[in-house]
Structure 1
Amino acid sequence: MSKLKELSYQELDNRCKLEALPFKNTSQLETYEGIIGQERASKAMEFGLKMKMRGYNIYMSGPTGTGKTSFARQILSETAANQKIPDDWCYIYNFSQPNQPLAINLPAGTGKQFQHDMEEFTKIIKQEIVNAFDNDQYEKEKSEIMDEYEDKKDELLDKLSKDAEEHGFKVNTGSSGIYFLPIIEGRTISEEEFSTLDDETKDEINQKTNILQQETLDIIRKLKNNDKETEKKVSEWENKIALLALGVHIDDLKEKYIKFEVIQKYLEEVQKDILDNLDDFKEEEVSEEQQQLLIPWMQKPETAVTKYKVNVLVDNSALKGAPVILDSNPTYSNLIGKIEYENEFGSVSTDYTKIKPGLFHVANGGYLILQAKDVLSNPQAYEAINRVLKTKKIMIENMKDQTGIVAVTAIKPQPIPVDLKVILVGSTTIYELLYEYEEDFRKLFKVKVDFDEEMDRNDENILKLAQFISGFCKKEKTLHFDKSGVAKVVEYASGLVEDKNKLSTRFNEIVEILCEACMWAEDDGAKLVKAKHVQQAISEKAYRCDRLDKKLLEMLNEGTIMVDTEGSEIGQINGLTVMDMGDYSFGKPSRITASTYIGESGIVNVEREVDLSGTSHSKGVLILSGYIGQKYAQEFPLSLTASLCFEQMYGGVDGDSASSAELYAILSSLAEVPIKQSIAVTGSVNQKGEIQPVGGVRYKIEGFFELCKLRGLTGEQGVIIPCQNVKNLVLKDEVIDAVKKKLFHIYPVETIDQGIEILTGKKAGEKGKNEEYKSDTINYLVSEKLRRFAATVSSAGGNKKIKR
């Protein structure tokens, strides 16, 4: 038997060389600015930010903890700092359509100033108009107009009275109007006396009455015209007075905001509205104390100047560039804004001053960062984002449309145009689901920034990691790390991705170890964080989570779960499994047994028969039939039944990493050659007998090692792994030390033949010139057994004897 390769401890060494680190401790390093190990993501982000066309919003995809959100916030802040500050946005009263407030944009800071100016204007104008009408000159001029009105009125009524006397009537005027009383024999008669007159006299009186009524109608028409003319004169005079008080202030505002046509038009409408509603200004203003004393229905809901207020929706006066908004609660109303309502004494009302901004308003002209999970967990949030990005407008809907509240006054604010870039941060799974099932997603989020969970382990990235640690220490104002501490963190980062040539980019997990290592160093009274403190942090973190691991190890050691680590058995092998508890993963050996006998059922997967086998495991078992048939049954039919079982496995099994171990057990059973129980096996196999790489090799090796160590290392124990998994051997120091002392062995194999030789101590065997396997080899014994099975089945069926 040719000597098979065994890994040396040098090949397993994962330690970071201290002499390769160009510093004594991290206090000597500058903080690294930027994202580490994400060149592809950085370039994609740079492209997404440069592309200004519609639809090029960004989805940041990748595992949790790789720094997606921090990177987005950092690079967007840098980019936004050099961009133009967006305009303020305000809502003002719409005099032509009061229920549709107007949206206006003004340069940053101008909105707040305009709001203040209008507040001052309304305060001043209210008082000045009151003062203008509260003086002798106004009263004198008004009295003259009213006197003229009264003179004309008296003149008309006198004429009517004279005409009535000429026709024998007396005129009476009252609140009910003008009426006539007949005069007979020098005196007016009553209605009762009129009824006693003869018909001729009555007819004569009625005829005169009709003539007077026509003249009265003409007089009344002239009186009404006189009223209108007088009212017009009073109004013109009052407007003239009001303009004297109002005009200078309006002109000052127009001059100040001369560049803004929309404000010019608005101020003209304000002036017209004030003149049209002077009575509201002339009334004595009710104080807040007096207002509270009034009964509810007598209280004034708003003052005359409420409509002249400016609602500054977005104030960008404090910005130094474009806005960068990060939010974790993207509800529908938080995104698009809302209209607040007041409920006073059962009456619900609102107005344009109660319009509140949403995230889109605040981020308009800049960037909005949202977590994809948060968006999808809030009803209508994703639809709101879709609508805004498609229409490029923010439309604030009335609250009653969303909540069912019926408002007394419903308003529909003018939509605000939007120009911003939305950055969604989420997992790859969410991205794939949205891309596949949400039609608009691929049109609106055309830039994918894909974060990797690992980076190359080279000198450049190791130095960047050290600079990251330095930045952490400075930010948290904690102890710095010496060379050994940094080296141990590098080794831990390799362990997270189970690859000696890679480092993890899941910096949140690295930061956890940094925090805990600092605590242990401080507890130790050290001035720097050293390797022992980092290792203590790693060990303590594992200890808090490994209860089930230790419980199963105890059950294995005492034999409750039966696994042998010494001796040899036919058709029995130790497979290796990984259990993932979420925050902790560990490996454990599991006994796999195979029973073979004559039949035509092929390989029977006991787990599949009782619905405990996953699809991947079932596939792996089916592949074994292909391998056995292809290798041994080319000249005779395969008449085999093989029963495979994971002993004492009741929770189900999945994955094909045990398929090679299952095949070894079948071959052992067929060849009737025992397998060493001191060697455990992991690895997938294909139909050609080639060993394929699997996951979790590190945990599987360490799990079997723990059991062997507990029972006592004999020097015969070890693990067979796929040769492709050598790079994944980021093992604990004690495992490497055991390999160094020849107390534990790790065998990388490429084929089933290599593995079976290690497990049985016998050659696998190759075919000679006669196409037969050499005698007393595993393959020969298996082939002979299968030939006998086939001959027996053939004989029982009355067929010809199987030819050798």
Structure 2
Amino acid sequence: MSDKQKIPASLLAPQVDPDRLGFDDTSEVEPLDDTIGQERAVEALDFGLQMKSPGFNIFVSGPVGTGKGTLVRQMVKRLAQTAPAPSDWCYVHNFQDASRPTCLSFPAGQGASFKREMSTFIEGLRRDIPAAFEGKKYLDAKAKIIEETEGKKKALFHDLTALCHQRGFGFEETPVGFGLVPLKDDRPMTEKEMEALSEQVQQELTDRRQSLESDLREFHVRMHTLEREAEQALHHLDHQIVANVMQGAYETLQRAYQDLRPVTTYLQRVHHDIIHQYKDFLPHSGPVLPIPGLEQTRRPDMTRFAVNLIVAREAAAGAPVVDESHPTYSNLIGKIERRAHLGVMYTDFTEIRAGAMLQANGGYLILQALDLLRQPFSWEALKRVIKTGAVTIEDPAEFYGFATAGLRPEPIPVSVKVILVGTAGIYHLLQAYEEDFSKLFKVKADFDVEVPHDERQERQYARFVAKLCKEEGLPHFGADAVAEVIRQGFRYADRHDRLSLRFSLVSDLIREAGYWARKDGHSFVTRADVESALAHQRHRADLPEQWIQDEIREGTLMVDLQGEVVGQVNGLSVYELGDYAFGRPTRITARTYVGTKGVIDIQREVELAGNIHSKGVMTLAGFLAGKFAGMQPFALSATLTFEQTYSEIEGDSAAVAELTAVLSSLANLPVRQSLAVTGSVNQLGEIQPIGGVNEKIEGFFESCKRHGLTGGQGVIIPARNTKHLALNREVVAAVEEGKFAVYGVDHVEQALELLIGVPAGERGPEGTFPPESIYGRTAARLEEMAQIVANWGEGEEEPEKVKG
């Protein structure tokens, strides 16, 4: 077998020299205080966070595990510390329309002071107003008004009585009040005496009565006027007393907030309401509980004077940073809560609660894009706030028409820098289907998943390890352990020349290595501890792989690892199960026969093939037609299948194996089963790189190891995948010992010669291939099949000619 395509063991996995790191353990290394390899993202974030123009919100894009969330929080918090603290916000009662609470703004820290001062002010009035109304000065003034009014009433009554007596009438009590009755000798006349009077005298009495009744009506009017004046005087006295009680405390509040016009306006309305509703501050007697005979003094409800402080700041705290992990509509915008009393739900302005947008007002709001889009109404609400620059707290039930008319709080103006964190897929979907997205999120911070490898990046990795050890109290890593972590960074990146930036995976490896080091009693983490952590990680997740490998070893899954078979090739596939991927060999077979149906992919026919796999089969059919149909008609029927696979096949990495199986069947040349092959092929026969190369090699190696390594086993991969190799130490050791081999090929002919052991063949001057080459035997068979098809067609046409 040719050794030209063998890949040296030195290229199968990256190597990191611990001595090159320049330290014995990470206690000597300065912990990392910045990011690794995300200069593009840092620049975009720095621009977006400091750009104040509307619409320059940020979408942070990148795969999971790249540390984008951590970096965003670090940068935002660092910037927020230097920014001024924004305003406090509260809701207060609207004395003109209780259903529309009013919002008030205060400098940071003053909202809580105002709430305390208002509470003290009202409690003071509750104490002082009743005391003032029980004081001697008030009682004397009230008694004087009442006495003066009663004197005036008596004077009026005396004058009316004198007038009536003068005209010969007196008063008598009737069921409806007092009436006029004629007098005789200063006593009321009897009915007989009335009847004894002449008609002329009776007429005179009637005339005098009517005149007196007019005077009596005027008397009643004047009496009512006196009562009304007395009532007004008492009200004025009450208002004056309340105003005098309030004066000192009220003027103190006005002076304290004289620079805040909305606050002074609110205080004026509070003053007016207290003056006119002062009786609410006086004790009321009545049953608190409906228990007969139980009477207590009830304290009137003073809720309308309360202050609902919904956003409170500290003056020295800087700008707020809110990371909302559950962005429901209520958590994002706010809500109006309800209370139950005697089976009835009710609410008022004190039940208004702020959401994340208000908590982040004047600062930064961090949201996970996927979490936001999963919540009903949240995305539309976020857009509305960004567009209008104000938060309007509403009841979500009203969107469904379930809620009755309730509170309509005044909108609160906001200025928030919104940072959405998500994947590139979500970003592109929003760009494509959300017309406002590009206007609202004008800055994209794109996180990379890998960084070019150099000594500086190795040093940065070491500093990252030192940082994690310091922050989480892990044992420090020796240089050999750090080198192994860096080596695994290559594996995570699937590159020789790049290190992974998926630090969630690297961090978990560091933590687990620290755990096993402590469990084994090591003061420092060694390379063996890192390898132990990797082995345990794999062991916890590789049960499905072990099942499959056991079935291959037992023969349940039929995979030949030695010998030669016509039309049968060992392909390689990758299974991805969440965070774990592994490779396994799969038997690929081809059968060719006379016909014109072309290459039939059985997986596609039964709808077990993805679009990319189908494309790969059609591409290899194009290669066959281009290679062999130049001089003759291309008459071929062939079937291809993955044996013992019952789920969908996707990807074109089996194209080289499938092409080899078809050519082996046509040329009737056997394929070495000790080799497996992976790679995509184009119509020109060039082999293209594929994914999962490390898992595929390790999967076939595991199968060979269980059957016994013979030294003739190996894997053929695209040469362009050499830079992606980061194989485990066991495979590299087997290659170094000559027990296993990895071949890199650039063209399909190289793969064919390795698998079949016969030269592929080149066209000679006459356009033909050498007879014993793979292509020569294939061309001969295709020519034979084309002749059979042509003869068959002529045989069918003869009867037509006879009939004619």
**Within the alignment, does 1:70 sit opposite 2:66 as a pair?**
no
Offset of residue 741 of structure 1: 1.8
Residue 756 of structure 2 corresponds to 760
Answer with 7-16 or 151-160: which moved more: 151-160
Task: Give the stretch that moved more between structures: 73-82 or 775-784.
Answer: 775-784
Contact 2:494 2:725 (8 Å CA) reproduced: yes
Residue 656 of structure 1 aligns to which amino acid in structure 2? Answer: D
Is residue 548 of structure 2 the alignment partner of residue 552 of structure 1? yes
Contact 2:66/2:447 (8 A) holds in 1: yes
Matches within 5 A, 1:27-426: 27-171=27-171, 178-183=178-183, 187-188=187-188, 207-281=207-281, 283-284=282-283, 291=288, 303=300, 305-317=302-314, 320-398=317-395, 401=398, 410-426=406-422
Matches within 5 A, 1:494-509: 494-509=490-505
CA distance in 2, matches of 1:357, 1:100: 16
User: Shift of residue 402 of structure 1?
Assistant: 6.0
Deviation at 1:302, TM superposition (A): 6.9
Match of 2:680 among 677, 684, 690: 684
1:376–1:382 contact (8 Å) kept in structure 2: yes
- Paired position in structure 2 for 1:10: 10
Number of residue equivalences: 796
Paired AA for residue 381 in structure 1: S
Q: Distance in 2 between matches of 1:200 and 1:748?
A: 148
Compute the TM-score of the two structures, normalised by the length of structure 1.
0.93
- Identity over aligned residues, as a percent? 39
- Against the structure 1 CA distance between its residues 297 and 268, is the aligned structure 2 distance closer, same or farther, given a 3 Å change threshold? farther
Equivalent of 1:639, from 635, 653, 661? 635
Aligned residues of 2:91 and 2:103 also touching (Cα < 8 A):
yes
Shift of 1:486: 0.7
SS in 2 for 1:797: helix
Greater shift, 766-775 or 635-644, is seen at 766-775
Aligned mate of 2:465, from 463, 469, 476: 469
Q: CA deviation at 1:224?
A: 2.5
Write the letter of the residue equivalent to 1:457: H
Q: In 2, are the aligned partners of 1:398 and 1:412 still within 8 Å (CA)?
A: no
Q: In the alignment, which residue of structure 2 is the partner of 1:699?
A: 695
2:730 is matched with: 734
Q: Could you say which residue in structure 1 is the equivalent of 2:799? A: none
Q: Which moved more, 1:634-643 or 1:441-450?
A: 441-450
Q: Which amino acid aligns with 1:18?
A: P
Structure 1 position 171, deviation (Å): 3.3
Is residue 588 from structure 1 mapped to residue 584 from structure 2 by the alignment?
Answer: yes
Worse overlay, 320-329 or 455-464: 455-464
Secondary structure (helix, strand or coil) at the match of 2:794 reads: coil
The answer on 1:655 being equivalent to 2:654 is: no
Residues 179, 505 of structure 1: CA spacing in aligned structure 2 closer, same or farther, 3 A cutoff? Answer: farther
Q: CA deviation at 1:319?
A: 5.0
Distance 2:164 2:455 in 1: 120
- Letter paired with 2:256: K
Give the match for residue 717 of structure 1. Answer: 713
Decide whether the 8 Å contact of 2:559 with 2:585 is kept in 1. yes
Q: Which range is displaced more, 450-459 or 584-593?
A: 450-459
Q: Residue 552 of structure 1: CA displacement? A: 1.0
Report the more deviating stretch, 249-258 or 518-527: 249-258
Partner residue, 1:617? 613
Residue 786 of structure 1: how far off its partner (Å): 0.9
Q: 1:797 to 1:270 in 2, by over 3 A?
A: closer
TM-score by length of 2: 0.93
Distance 1:770 1:265, change over 3 A: same
Q: Tell me the CA shift for residue 777 of structure 1.
A: 1.4
Q: Is the 8 A contact 2:284 2:297 kept in 1?
A: no
| C-alpha distance in 1 between matches for 2:566 and 2:4 | 22
Decide which moves more: 543-552 or 312-321. 312-321
**What is the CA RMSD across the aligned residues, in angstroms?**
2.8
What is the distance in 1 between the residues matched to 2:385 and 2:545? 51
Secondary structure, aligned partner of 1:798: helix
| Contact 1:4–1:754 under 8 Å retained in 2 | no
Structure 1 segment 424-503 matched on structure 2, within 5 A: 424-503=420-499
Cα displacement string for residues 361-381 of structure 1 (whole angstroms, at most 9, x for unaligned residues):
111000111222222232222
Q: 1:231 to 1:3 in 2, by over 3 A?
A: same
- Secondary structure of the 1:60 match is strand
Q: 1:512 aligns with which of 508, 514, 517?
A: 508
Aligned CA distance change for structure 1 residues 670 and 403 (closer, same or farther; 3 Å): closer
Matched, 1:561 2:561: no
Contact 2:590–2:639 under 8 Å retained in 1: yes
Deviates more, 1:8-17 or 1:70-79: 8-17
Report the Cα distance in structure 1 between the residues aligned to 2:175 and 2:42, rounded to whole angstroms.
88
Q: Deviations over 1:33-59 (max 9, x none)?
A: 222222221111111112212122122
Partner of 1:670: 666
Letter aligned with residue 716 of structure 2: I
SS in 2 for 1:160: helix
**CA distance in 2 between partners of 1:695 and 1:771 (Å):** 37
Report the 3-state secondary structure (helix = DSSP H, G, I; strand = E; otherwise coil) of the residue aligned with 1:149: helix
Structure 2: gaps (5+ residues): 797-804
Q: Residues of 1 paired with 2:637 and 2:193: CA distance?
A: 136
2-structure distance, mates of 1:296, 1:576: 92
Determine the C-alpha separation between the residues in 2 that align with 1:675 and 1:192.
151
Shift of residue 106 of structure 1? 0.9
- Counterpart contact for 2:13–2:728, Cα < 8 Å: no
